[in-house]
Amino acid sequence: MSDKPKILCVRDRTNGMRALPPDLLGNYEVVEVQSPLRALARLTREQFAGMFVMSDHLKDALHLGRLLQNDRILDGMPDGVALLDMENIIIWANQRLRDWSGQADIVGANFYAALGSPEILGPDFCPFHTALATGQASGSTLKADENRYYHVHAAPVLEEDETPRHLIVTVRDVTEEVLQQQKLAAIHKAGIELADLTPEEVFQMTVDDRIELLKSNILHYTKDLLNFDVVEIRLLDETTGELQPLLAVGMDHDAANRPLFARPMRNGVTGFVAATGKSYLCENTAEDPLYIQGFQGAKSSLTVPLMLHDRVIGTFNVESPEPRAFTESDLQFLEIFCRDLAAALNTLELLVAQKANTALESTEAIHRAVALPVDEILNDAVNVMERYIGHEPALVERLQRILRNARDIKKTIQSVGRTMTPTEGVPTSVQVEGHPKLRGCRVLVADADENVRSDAHELLERYGCVVETAHEGEEAILMVRNTGPDAQYDIIIADIRLPDLNGYDMLMRLKRLMESPPLILMAGFGYDPGHSIVKARQEGLHPSAVLYKPFRRDQLLGTVETILDVSKSMLKA
* pLDDT tens-place string over residues 479-499: 998 887 777 899 999 999 899
The pLDDT of residue 152: 92
Domain shared by 333 and 287, yes or no: yes
Average model confidence (pLDDT) across the chain: 79
- Whether 417 contacts 464, CB under 8 Å: no
* Average pLDDT value for residue range 49-63: 54
Domain shared by 308 and 205, yes or no: yes
Domain shared by 280 and 148, yes or no: no
Compute the Cα dihedral for 74, 75, 81, 86 and give only its sign.
Answer: positive
Q: Is residue 487 part of a domain?
A: yes
- Whether 326 contacts 316, CB under 8 Å: no
Write the DSSP string, 503-539: HHHHHHHHHTT-SS--EEEEEETT--TT-HHHHHHHT
Range name among 55-64, 113-122, 209-218, 475-484 with the lowest pLDDT average:
55-64
Widest pairwise Cα distance in the chain: 153
Q: Which domain holds residue 2?
A: 1-74
In this predicted model, what pLDDT tens digit does every residue of 333-374 receive, in sequence order?
A: 888 888 878 877 776 665 555 555 555 555 566 666 677 788
Whichever domain contains 508, its CATH number is: 3.40.50.2300
> Is the pLDDT score of 271 beyond 60?
yes
* CA–CA distance, 13 with 16 (Å, rounded to integer): 6
- What is the domain count for the chain? 4
CA-wise closest residue to 523 among 545, 505, 539: 545
Q: Is residue 396 part of a domain?
A: no
Q: Is residue 312 part of a domain?
A: yes
CA-wise closest residue to 459 among 564, 354, 359, 551: 551
Task: Using pLDDT thresholds of 50, 70 and 90, give the confidence band for residue 129.
Answer: very high
- Whether 84 contacts 41, CB under 8 Å: no
Domain shared by 146 and 159, yes or no: yes
* Average pLDDT value for residue range 36-58: 62
Q: Is residue 549 part of a domain?
A: yes
* Average pLDDT value for residue range 509-525: 89
> Is the pLDDT score of 276 beyond 80?
yes
Asked which of 55, 74, 93 is the last residue of a domain, the reply is 74
* CA–CA distance, 145 with 402 (Å, rounded to integer): 85
**Alpha-helical runs (H) found in 22-148:** 22-27, 36-45, 58-75, 95-101, 111-114, 127-134
Q: Is residue 403 part of a domain?
A: no
pTM over 0.75: no
* CA–CA distance, 256 with 95 (Å, rounded to integer): 55
Query: Between β-strands 90-93 and 80-84, what pairing exists: parallel, antiparallel or unpaired?
Result: antiparallel
- Whether 500 contacts 472, CB under 8 Å: yes
* CA–CA distance, 528 with 531 (Å, rounded to integer): 5
- Whether 8 contacts 31, CB under 8 Å: yes
Task: Using pLDDT thresholds of 50, 70 and 90, give the confidence band for residue 62.
Answer: very low
> Is the pLDDT score of 426 beyond 70?
no
CA-wise closest residue to 331 among 281, 278, 268: 281
Domain shared by 38 and 142, yes or no: no
Range name among 217-231, 238-252, 394-408, 502-516 with the lowest pLDDT average:
217-231
In this predicted model, what pLDDT tens digit does every residue of 160-171 receive, in sequence order?
A: 667 788 888 889
Domain shared by 122 and 213, yes or no: no
Percent of the chain residues past pLDDT 90, beyond the cut: 29
* CA–CA distance, 83 with 163 (Å, rounded to integer): 16
In this predicted model, what pLDDT tens digit does every residue of 174-214 receive, in sequence order?
A: 887 776 777 666 666 666 665 565 545 545 556 566 666 66
In this predicted model, what pLDDT tens digit does every residue of 64-94 receive, in sequence order?
A: 444 444 455 555 567 888 888 889 998 888 8
Query: Between β-strands 29-33 and 546-549, what pairing exists: parallel, antiparallel or unpaired?
Result: unpaired
CA-wise closest residue to 71 among 82, 87, 84: 82
Q: Is residue 401 part of a domain?
A: no
Domain shared by 201 and 104, yes or no: no
Asked which of 59, 74, 89 is the last residue of a domain, the reply is 74
Domain shared by 462 and 500, yes or no: yes
Percent of the chain residues past pLDDT 70, beyond the cut: 72
CA-wise closest residue to 566 among 518, 530, 522: 518
> Is the pLDDT score of 134 beyond 80?
yes
Q: Is residue 411 part of a domain?
A: no
Domain shared by 207 and 296, yes or no: yes
The pLDDT of residue 429: 40
Q: Highest mean pLDDT range out of 35-39, 149-153, 365-369?
A: 149-153
The pLDDT of residue 405: 78
Reported for 212-221, long-range contacts at CB under 8 A and 24+ positions apart, including other chains, are 214/344, 214/345, 214/348, 215/246, 215/247, 217/190, 217/193, 218/194, 218/247, 218/341, 219/247, 219/249, 221/187, 221/190, 221/191, 221/194, 221/337
Asked which of 25, 46, 74 is the last residue of a domain, the reply is 74
Q: Is residue 552 part of a domain?
A: yes
Domain shared by 260 and 111, yes or no: no
The pLDDT of residue 304: 93
Domain shared by 494 and 441, yes or no: yes
The pLDDT of residue 309: 84
> Is the pLDDT score of 465 beyond 50?
yes
More confident call, 41 vs 438: 438
> Is the pLDDT score of 470 beyond 90?
yes
Range name among 34-43, 52-61, 378-387 with the lowest pLDDT average:
52-61
Task: Using pLDDT thresholds of 50, 70 and 90, give the confidence band for residue 226.
Answer: low
* Average pLDDT value for residue range 31-47: 67
Domain shared by 216 and 147, yes or no: no
> Is the pLDDT score of 59 beyond 80?
no
